[in-house]
């Protein structure tokens, strides 16, 4: 069988096909596209029509290359969602989580339900872009008045292909509206926030889930038919499903760095809340982890330098400029959607009385060194909160290829770093599609 993983991140998307030959999994990238938010009317938004076109475009590319999948599964980043009217048409715009509206939504939500109560029930860390806060903003601005349903982004894209709506557990767990222990919507919180209960009528399902076949119009466009499967639709959940070694601490390293461990049960203690750790659904586990800003900062730097350097060149330039021990606050709101990451780094260095960087390599080193320190601090917190000791930190995702950052991380944490697949998200997606046929 051929399985197709459509893995869409907050900067790019890929269609990766996989099949078994003599028991060995073979993977091939068939299609790739860029994915960045647009700025419209003072807000950051995603172009939903373009995302749908790219999903279908990649399916067409499969056919053109003689690769006809038996199934397709889509994963994306978490928290962003599509509101639907009573005709299942999207209510636009589709806001990007980096948009500033979440702060107002968080203030409204916490007036109705204090954060410590939210954390105790849902186990989800505070981030101003959490789904719960975006929905509270929507309610305050009348966007829910005509909403009959909502789907998380990968659920919507799967619905676009199959015509079948379903909520999937790993992505639903990121919303801040799921009972962490009961693993279903927390209707007490929904009611307290005044959100329409009709949006939460369908219970999230445990992956993998076979939704159905391609809609006839989609099949006609791409030239074949196949199953549409919900893998772990939250990209980090799919990545962690592909860890090369279980029982380790891990980082899913990409636009975001998600550092944590797989646990049997959620941890919603005051210590976990204070450290801003989150309890997200995994495949049969709880992914207890912390969000760290991640390689987004390097992506911003690369763009600001007009893409004249590759990521590999920036890493080497950083290594050549390793002459100062930077500890920038990489999780500061100043880095969430900076107009100029260089200006923000300069501003923080000036505030702390540090030398201001002068070269691209020095800026890159400041980012890498600061990420390594952030990883070390988060790992210490993880061990303190869980009472467990982790001798190995496993890094998967695109950041697994960054040898310099891995070296800095190993130095900062004082223990071994094990690297896994740079395509861990697509690999986990595919493994779950395979499981749907067992």
pLDDT in tens, 283-305: 999 999 999 999 999 999 999 99
pLDDT at 412 (0 to 100): 97
Tell how strand 392-396 and strand 249-253 pair up. Answer: parallel
Supply the CATH classification number for the domain 2-236: 3.30.420.40
Residue 10 has pLDDT above 90, yes or no: no
Give residue 163's pLDDT band: very low, low, confident or very high (50, 70, 90): very high
- Mean pLDDT for the stretch of residues 253-282: 95
Q: What is the pLDDT of residues 367-378, one digit of tens each?
A: 999 999 999 999
SS3 content of the chain, % helix, strand, coil (to 5): 40, 20, 35
Asked if residue 323 has pLDDT above 90, the reply is no
Predicted confidence band of residue 229 (pLDDT cuts 50, 70, 90): very high
Rounded CA-CA distance 192/208 in Å is: 32
- Domain range summary for the chain, segments of one domain joined by +: 2-236, 244-419
- pLDDT band at residue 322, thresholds of 50, 70 and 90? confident
Q: CB of 97 within 8 A of CB of 129?
A: yes
Residue 324: band (very low, low, confident or very high) from pLDDT cuts 50, 70, 90: confident
Q: What is the mean pLDDT of residues 71-87?
A: 98
Which is nearest to 105 in space by CA: 177, 182, 184?
177
Residues designated as active site: 235
Per-residue pLDDT at 436: 97
**Statement: residue 96 has pLDDT above 90:** yes
Q: 329-343: per-residue pLDDT in tens? A: 999 999 988 999 999
Identical fold for domains 2-236 and 244-419, yes or no, is yes
CATH class of 244-419: alpha beta
pTM for this model (two decimals): 0.90
3-state secondary structure of 84: strand
């Amino acid at each position: 069988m051929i399985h197709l993983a459509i893995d869409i991140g907050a900067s790019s998307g890929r269609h990766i096909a996989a099949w078994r030959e003599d028991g060995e999994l073979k993977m091939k990238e068939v299609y790739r596209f860029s994915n960045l938010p647009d700025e419209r009317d003072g807000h950051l938004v995603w172009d939903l029509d373009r995302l749908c076109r790219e999903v279908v475009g990649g399916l067409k590319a499969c056919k053109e290359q003689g690769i006809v999948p038996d199934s397709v599964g889509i994963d994306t980043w978490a928290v962003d969602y599509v509101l639907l009217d009573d005709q299942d048409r999207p209510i636009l715009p589709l806001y990007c989580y980096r948009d500033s509206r979440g702060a107002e939504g968080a203030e409204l939500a916490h007036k109705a339900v204090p954060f410590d109560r939210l954390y105790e029930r849902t186990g989800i860390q505070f981030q101003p872009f959490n789904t719960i806060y975006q929905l509270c903003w929507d309610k305050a601005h009348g966007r829910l008045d005509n909403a009959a349903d909502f789907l998380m982004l990968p659920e919507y894209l799967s619905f676009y292909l199959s015509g079948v709506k379903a909520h999937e557990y790993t992505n639903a767990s990121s919303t801040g509206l799921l009972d962490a222990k009961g693993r279903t919507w927390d209707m007490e919180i929904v009611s307290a926030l005044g959100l329409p209960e009709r949006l939460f009528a369908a219970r999230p399902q445990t992956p993998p889930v076979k939704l159905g076949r391609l809609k006839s119009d989609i099949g006609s466009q791409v030239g074949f038919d196949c199953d549409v499967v919900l893998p772990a639709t939250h990209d980090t959940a799919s990545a962690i499903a592909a860890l090369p070694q279980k029982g380790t601490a891990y980082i899913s390293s990409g636009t975001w760095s998600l550092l944590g461990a797989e646990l049997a049960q959620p941890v919603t203690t005051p210590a976990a809340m204070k450290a801003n750790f989150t309890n997200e659904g995994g495949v049969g586990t709880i992914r207890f982890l912390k969000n760290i800003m991640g390689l987004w900062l390097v992506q911003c730097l690369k763009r600001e330098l007009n893409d004249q350097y590759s990521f590999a060149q920036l890493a080497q330039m950083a290594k050549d400029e390793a002459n100062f021990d930077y500890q920038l606050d990489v999780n500061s709101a100043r880095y969430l959607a900076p107009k100029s990451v260089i200006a923000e780094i300069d501003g923080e260095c000036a505030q702390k009385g540090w030398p201001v960087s002068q070269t691209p390599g020095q800026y890159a080193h400041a980012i890498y060194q600061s990420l390594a320190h952030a990883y070390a601090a988060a790992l210490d917190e993880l061990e303190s909160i869980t009472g467990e000791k982790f001798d190995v930190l496993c890094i998967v995702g695109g950041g697994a290829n960054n040898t310099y950052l891995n070296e800095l991380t190993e130095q900062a944490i004082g223990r071994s770093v094990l690297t896994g697949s740079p395509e861990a998200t697509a690999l986990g997606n595919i493994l779950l599609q395979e499981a749907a046929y067992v």
